Structure 1
Amino acid sequence: MKPVLKQNIMIRRLFVILLLLSFVLPFQTTVVQASAGILSGPGWVVVASNEEIIDPIYGALVTPAIYTIYSEDQSVYGPFLVNELRQYDEGSGFPINSSVFDVSVTPDGQTVLLVERDLRLVHFIDLSDPTAPVYLDSVQLFSSINDLAITPDGRFALVSAESVSVVSIHQRKLVYQLVLPTFERDIDNDPVYGYASAIAVNNAGTIVVADAINHAVHTIRLWSNGAMTYYGSHKYFLNVDGDVALSDEENYQRFNPINVTIAPDESTVLVSDGLNYVDTTQTTYQNLYAVGVYQITSPGQVQFIDVLSGLPRVMQSFDFNRDGSKAYALGNNGASYDESASPQTTLLNDSLYMFDMNGTGDIVFDNSQSVDLLFNTTDQYQGTDCLAVYEGIAYMTYANDSLDSTSFPQRFVSIVDLSDLSLQQLNWGSTSQVTPTGVGVRVFIPFKTYFPLVNK
């Protein structure tokens, strides 16, 4: 047989083999992250939850877990990682009660970070398959944890508590810690350091910290190597009519920042104010609340813009629609007031509220639209994000776990379709046995499929 003819026969045989393999072998797939504003589709909502379990030896214990919700049909998966997240006493080895609060998903959608407040742990979880999360590791910090924010580039996790910590997500280790300056002294003349109740960060590395202990907002600059520099602090004060002052004046109260959010414009800062004040001109509510508005003017620097006062609830958590034209808030701790009634005050249900974002620093409360969530809580989690908005749907947990189990024997994750404000409740279990806390989103990740190459 001639060499050329033999070579042609071999090529044809190889072609047939490759063609057959293309029907037998599984496809090779590559995951590509969706670009915001270009591709959209169903994503996954991650819910941190604290579960009461019955140990056959030690009895009732509270232990963390996570759940995932598929946004296409609101299917719930979980609980996951109950055994992996359970904590034990270092001395005795006995299991102990532990609770998780805030949760965040890295921008690539592959990793969940979960914070355990009192045990000072940041947990890392592989979310490559949202129906089967895998526990990876944890990082131990030096102080209790309130809030967690991931930088937009996915390199660092910023953790707020008695100090501000930077954790490398790739290395899974603490790389920097900043103790805020002393602002006051207590009755024993001991220093009262700045406290990080909640934290947010933008693309340019401006960190904004809400400090409920010292009634202040602090700004910090995050550098490319993970180091931080403290830049300054800001305060405002309100009187009983909701008027604002930037210095302490007679009959004015210090604000109480419990959470902080940076809008999609990377400049507008919303500070959730937990201070309640009695507005003497109102007859509908016992107390009213406010939201502080700041603007980031340069990396590490903000300026005061306004206070939105006269709000019917504490706006504990904020999130936004895709183009940033609307802000949504989970409000709680509301109470009505009627001088002629007995009792004069009645607790009001938690609600979802809307704000119009008209430009940088320009935000207007839309009092015409709200959704009753059919439960009520008091007080607030500091820094825990209990609201997430994805593809026109709002997902909400609880601004606090202070739920009356007699009036509300079951807990839910509340889902609101923002197109028609319809409410759906996902049953989460008994109020006395389970508490869904923080909520985060893994965005839509499209798949590109490649067939095996075939030579022609």
Structure 2
Amino acid sequence: MGKFPVHFPIPTWFASVSLFSTALLFGTAGAADAQVRSFAPLNRYVVGGAVAEIIDASPDGNTLVFTNSSDQQIGFIDITDPANPQSLGTVEVAGEPTSVAITPDGKYAIATVLFLIDEDAGQTIADQQPGTLVFIDLATRKVTGQVQLLGIGPDSADISPDGSKVIVAIEDEEDTDNLPGSRPGSINFVTINEDNPSESTVTAVDIDLAGIEGVNYVEDPQPEFVKFSPDGSTAAVTIQENNAIALIDVASEQIIRIFSAGTSSQFADRTEDGEISLTEEFKGRREPDAIAFTPDGQHLVTVNEGDTELESFGDNIGSGGRSWTIFDLEGNVVYDSGSSVEELAVTRGQYPDDRSEDRGIEMEGGTVAEFGEQPIAFVTSERGSFVVAYDISNVEKPELISFLPTGLAPEGVLAIPERNLLLTSNEDDGTIDFFQASTEPAESAYSPTAPQITSTGADLPFSAISGLYQVPNDPNAFYAVPDSAVSPSRIYRIEMEGSSATVVSALPLTKNGESVRYDLEGIALQPSGDFWVVSEGDDREGQEAPNLLSHVNSRGEVQQEIPLPEAASGAITRFGFEGVATNAEGTKVYVAIQREFEGDPENTVRIAEYDLENQTWNYYFYPLDTDNVEDSWVGLSEIARDTDGSFLIVERDNQGGENGAANARIKRIYRVSLANAEPGATLEKTLVLDLLSDYRWIEEKIESLAVTNQGYWFASDNDGGINYTRLLFVPRQ
């Protein structure tokens, strides 16, 4: 576990700022006056190819536990130095762990474990057995006991502040496609036997939804998330599919009240069309997932993911509020974020348009913690891959502190105020993010070599940057193109200033007066100022889009589309044109082709050359690296002409992202020369940069490279908003 920790390339001076901030926040002098003004990335830790879903920390904040559902394990990490975490190994739990928490005395890590059915043996959901609560000794990291729960399908769990009880949501999702189910979920309370955990007692609390206004499935509660109040007297439960919240008196284990979470109304993008526009009226059942109490115990914070089918009830009310909400304990809405978080996601390029017809950014995880005397709510977006932090000192008017990109699909979120830390566990790429609280403004977390990218507003969305080129005579301005995740096609202009990069305009592309929809993968300029862009083809049935080299004038009008010759186009796979460059004179255009032609030697791809005068195509062969992990592929994703006339090639594997950050091997920049090469020659390549080893580039898609006199700019394709656009400048050596 924990193959290697990955660090963000933050400025070296930030460490001293952060340490100073820690002293202000939690030192003996001036602590009460210190205010958290931001959280800044400290480290991204790779969890050895596994899944990191739910996390918790020991009372001293030095040991982290996480659920690894794919491997049926609980993982342990020493985070004494959060900038250099160390794996402490794993414990098998013989089932899928769904939640984990550590007792306040630090003695046990307690995990809820789902009984798995064996489909290969013919078992069905009807054969599923009750789950278990597994006790792991934190010191020895060995299972010391377990108890069977009173219900099938345990989900969330929480431990009371005094350490005497565990509350477990027994969701029992027997058939999510055919609600309501026949087995209603419930709540379990487990009274812990400290000396012999296997003798802990379990009681069940049934959830009766009869007479509760606004619930969806009266007979099928399906509780989702549980949380004790700060004083331990009350427990809150989200009943997600029923859009309801229950409050339970802990001493008597009796339900106090159940109320509907209601609906949220705002403007949203409800159409998956490649065009991001938060202009459509939207009303959605909140259907909250995570829930937390405010530090004073007087309010509840919910994260409104949604979980039913979008139009289950025929009333044009959607599923999920695309928001987070603060309720009082009577069920009255004190605050709802409305569309504000989605607006933030749009301006930062992290709105996933392909989720517009579903639940947008799909907010899911959340927690509340008090840093000093400052209450802060943290809310994650599963589909947008970010966490937002809000000061909720005034529950009616929360104030944004930070918008923080995370690894892919953050599920768990944990604040450790005593250590000045915020963590997220990111399910899809197997990473854990560490952020540090600071009294400095948010901008201090960025640098001129790793700037934050935003647009000027929600009316100028951007995403999926797949090509980058410097504006002539302006080292601080760049043209960029998005791939097919953005439609119609356009050319962005990005301007750099200090630690910020701003998308300031988008030039639409047209052909004969009509918008065009390309899968743009590269951009270059002719000496005349016109553009060359390449569109990647797709030979799959129903797509049949050709690979195209297109000449576009400065007004965005397509002047010419140049396909490959028929023989070549028939041999290329859907992984085609991936970058474009010209020679210095502008008489030849070069295109990087991502994968092998059919019939070409294995691990060899082509660089295509188009001669403008003769209107002919020629090809050079490029040898690929082969030290990638098994069952992955390696290909090209960019070509750019350097100042000496040679060409830089971006070569990468398809690992990282959903394939797991620990599987990333090849994110490299090579130099080739075409000056004396004859068509058909195999090129010799020289390594210029290894972005994985030198800059900890674990994101899957390094797809953009722009050359300047000072050095090289890189940008990642964020797959249409499912994660962040990383910008990195590397000076010439």
1:355 counterpart residue number = 327
CA distance in 1 between counterparts of 2:200 and 2:257 reads 26
2:255 counterpart residue number = 304
**Given that residues 105 and 163 in structure 2 are in contact (C-alpha distance below 8 angstroms), is that contact kept between their aligned partners in structure 1?**
no
**Please, which of 186, 195, 198 is the counterpart of residue 153 of structure 2?**
195
**Please, which of 64, 73, 91 is the counterpart of residue 38 of structure 2?**
73
- Aligned residue identity for 2:233: S
Q: How far is 1:314 from its partner? A: 2.0
Aligned Cα root-mean-square deviation (Å): 3.6
SS at match of 1:275: helix
CA distance in 1 between counterparts of 2:335 and 2:101 reads 29
- Aligned residue identity for 2:418: F
Q: How far is 1:111 from its partner? A: 0.9
In structure 2, relative to structure 1, the CA distance for the partners of 1:106 and 1:378 (3 Å cut) is: farther
Matches within 5 A, 1:326-405: 326-333=299-306, 344-346=316-318, 349-356=321-328, 363-372=329-338, 373-374=341-342, 386-391=366-371, 392-398=375-381, 401=382, 403=383
1:172 equivalent in alignment to 2:134: no
CA distance in 2 between counterparts of 1:311 and 1:269 reads 20
1:415 counterpart residue number = 389
1:426 equivalent in alignment to 2:404: yes
**Given that residues 41 and 444 in structure 1 are in contact (C-alpha distance below 8 angstroms), is that contact kept between their aligned partners in structure 2?**
no
- 1:355-413 CA-to-partner distances (Å, cap 9, x unmatched) read 33xxxxxx2234141123316875999xx953343432222213xx4x3xxxxxx5321
CA distance in 2 between counterparts of 1:130 and 1:148 reads 20
**Given that residues 335 and 345 in structure 1 are in contact (C-alpha distance below 8 angstroms), is that contact kept between their aligned partners in structure 2?**
no
1:234 counterpart residue number = 205
SS at match of 1:413: strand
CA distance in 2 between counterparts of 1:118 and 1:126 reads 22
In structure 2, relative to structure 1, the CA distance for the partners of 1:385 and 1:426 (3 Å cut) is: closer
CA distance in 2 between counterparts of 1:330 and 1:170 reads 34
Matches within 5 A, 1:207-356: 207-213=166-172, 214-227=184-197, 228-239=199-210, 242=213, 252-276=218-242, 289-297=243-251, 302-312=253-263, 313-333=286-306, 344-346=316-318, 349-356=321-328
Q: Where in structure 2 are there 5+ consecutive unaligned residues? A: 1-22, 114-130, 173-183, 264-285, 343-350, 421-733
2:611 counterpart residue number = none
In structure 2, relative to structure 1, the CA distance for the partners of 1:123 and 1:242 (3 Å cut) is: same
Q: How far is 1:322 from its partner? A: 2.8
Q: Where in structure 1 are there 5+ consecutive unaligned residues? A: 1-30, 44-70, 88-97, 182-192, 245-250, 277-288, 357-362, 404-409, 447-456
In structure 2, relative to structure 1, the CA distance for the partners of 1:164 and 1:235 (3 Å cut) is: same
**Given that residues 135 and 144 in structure 2 are in contact (C-alpha distance below 8 angstroms), is that contact kept between their aligned partners in structure 1?**
yes
In structure 2, relative to structure 1, the CA distance for the partners of 1:395 and 1:348 (3 Å cut) is: same
Q: How far is 1:353 from its partner? A: 1.3
In structure 2, relative to structure 1, the CA distance for the partners of 1:220 and 1:307 (3 Å cut) is: same
CA distance in 1 between counterparts of 2:139 and 2:378 reads 29
- Aligned residue identity for 1:176: G
- 1:11-41 CA-to-partner distances (Å, cap 9, x unmatched) read xxxxxxxxxxxxxxxxxxxx9xx89xx9779
**Given that residues 320 and 327 in structure 1 are in contact (C-alpha distance below 8 angstroms), is that contact kept between their aligned partners in structure 2?**
yes
1:116 equivalent in alignment to 2:68: yes
**Given that residues 225 and 289 in structure 2 are in contact (C-alpha distance below 8 angstroms), is that contact kept between their aligned partners in structure 1?**
yes
- 1:76-110 CA-to-partner distances (Å, cap 9, x unmatched) read 12221x2xx224xxxxxxxxxx4221011111111
**Given that residues 351 and 371 in structure 1 are in contact (C-alpha distance below 8 angstroms), is that contact kept between their aligned partners in structure 2?**
yes
Per the normalisation by structure 1, the TM-score is 0.61
1:248 counterpart residue number = none
1:150 equivalent in alignment to 2:102: yes
CA distance in 2 between counterparts of 1:117 and 1:42 reads 39
SS at match of 2:195: coil
CA distance in 1 between counterparts of 2:34 and 2:140 reads 30
SS at match of 1:238: coil
In structure 2, relative to structure 1, the CA distance for the partners of 1:234 and 1:39 (3 Å cut) is: farther
Q: How far is 1:257 from its partner? A: 0.5
**Given that residues 322 and 361 in structure 2 are in contact (C-alpha distance below 8 angstroms), is that contact kept between their aligned partners in structure 1?**
no
Q: Which has the larger radius of gyration?
A: 2
SS at match of 2:60: coil
Q: How far is 1:348 from its partner? A: 5.5
1:103 counterpart residue number = 55
**Please, which of 80, 87, 91 is the counterpart of residue 128 of structure 1?**
80
SS at match of 2:288: strand
Q: After the TM superposition, which parts of structure 1 deviate over 4 Å for at least 4 consecutive aligned residues? A: 38-43, 334-338, 345-349, 375-381
CA distance in 2 between counterparts of 1:215 and 1:42 reads 44
**Given that residues 63 and 77 in structure 2 are in contact (C-alpha distance below 8 angstroms), is that contact kept between their aligned partners in structure 1?**
yes
- Aligned residue identity for 1:74: F
**Given that residues 105 and 441 in structure 1 are in contact (C-alpha distance below 8 angstroms), is that contact kept between their aligned partners in structure 2?**
no
CA distance in 2 between counterparts of 1:222 and 1:321 reads 26
Q: How far is 1:141 from its partner? A: 1.0
Per the normalisation by structure 2, the TM-score is 0.39
**Given that residues 220 and 230 in structure 1 are in contact (C-alpha distance below 8 angstroms), is that contact kept between their aligned partners in structure 2?**
yes
Q: How far is 1:237 from its partner? A: 3.0
Task: Tell me the matched-pair count.
Answer: 316
- Aligned residue identity for 2:316: Q
2:645 counterpart residue number = none
SS at match of 2:240: strand
CA distance in 2 between counterparts of 1:164 and 1:42 reads 40
**Given that residues 180 and 195 in structure 1 are in contact (C-alpha distance below 8 angstroms), is that contact kept between their aligned partners in structure 2?**
no
- Aligned residue identity for 1:170: A
**Given that residues 377 and 389 in structure 2 are in contact (C-alpha distance below 8 angstroms), is that contact kept between their aligned partners in structure 1?**
yes
**Given that residues 320 and 389 in structure 1 are in contact (C-alpha distance below 8 angstroms), is that contact kept between their aligned partners in structure 2?**
no
Q: How far is 1:334 from its partner? A: 8.3
In structure 2, relative to structure 1, the CA distance for the partners of 1:337 and 1:109 (3 Å cut) is: closer
CA distance in 2 between counterparts of 1:378 and 1:314 reads 11
Q: How far is 1:42 from its partner? A: 8.3
SS at match of 2:295: coil
Q: How far is 1:149 from its partner? A: 1.5
Q: How far is 1:180 from its partner? A: 2.4
CA distance in 2 between counterparts of 1:131 and 1:369 reads 36
- 1:51-84 CA-to-partner distances (Å, cap 9, x unmatched) read xxxxxxxxxxxxxxxxxxxx6631112221x2xx
**Please, which of 44, 48, 53 is the counterpart of residue 86 of structure 1?**
48
- Aligned residue identity for 2:43: G
- Aligned residue identity for 1:219: F
- Aligned residue identity for 2:333: N
